[in-house]
């Protein structure tokens, strides 16, 4: 989440590398969610992010280590507060997309 000036407010880390299983949701209440191995994972995911009153947009970013990348090209360092294309503690931050939050206009 970002404020009207593009400054980070909250963040949720989503790890996407080495996905070799999928969650399977039960058909009946009370049954557990299970994981099953899959050769080629497909589908979608949901991320719940706190949205304080000053939030004006949500951004999806990739944080890649400048000198340590895994086989998929993604960084192995934890995320930080860098801006687009900036280096942050040995990482490079790249914005994938940013979406304005509807109904959140006005002054901060």
- Residue 13 included in any domain: no
Domain membership flag for residue 5 = no
Is 48 contained in some domain? Answer: yes
User: Measured in Å, how far apart are the chain's first and last C-alpha atoms?
Assistant: 15
- Average pLDDT estimate for 34-46: 82
Q: Is residue 62 part of a domain?
A: yes
The answer to whether residue 9 sits within a structural domain is no
Flag whether 107 is in a domain. Answer: no
Q: How far apart are CA 26 and CA 8, in angstroms?
A: 36
pLDDT (0 to 100) of residue 3: 92
Q: Whole-angstrom Cα distance, residue 60 to residue 73? A: 17
Q: Which domain holds residue 90?
A: 21-100
Provide the number of structural domains found in the chain.
1
CA gap 49, 62 in Å, rounded: 17
- Say if 4 falls within a structural domain: no
Q: Answer whether residue 82 shows pLDDT above 50.
A: no
Question: Which residue, among 67, 92, 69, has the nearest Cα to 80 in the 3D structure?
Answer: 92
Least confident of 28-32, 57-61, 80-84: 80-84
Residue 31 lies in a domain: yes
How high is the pLDDT of residue 100?
92
Considering the entire predicted model, what is its pTM? Answer: 0.55
């Amino acid at each position: 989440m970002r404020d009207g000036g593009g400054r980070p407010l909250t963040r949720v880390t989503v790890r996407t590398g080495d996905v070799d299983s999928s969650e399977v949701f039960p058909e009946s209440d009370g049954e557990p969610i299970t994981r099953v191995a899959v050769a080629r994972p497909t589908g979608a995911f949901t991320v719940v992010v706190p949205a304080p009153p000053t939030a004006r947009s949500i951004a999806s970013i990739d944080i890649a280590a400048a000198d340590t990348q895994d086989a998929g090209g993604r960084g192995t360092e934890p995320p930080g507060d860098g801006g687009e294309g900036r280096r942050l503690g040995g990482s490079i931050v790249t914005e994938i997309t940013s979406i304005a939050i509807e109904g959140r206009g006005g002054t901060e």
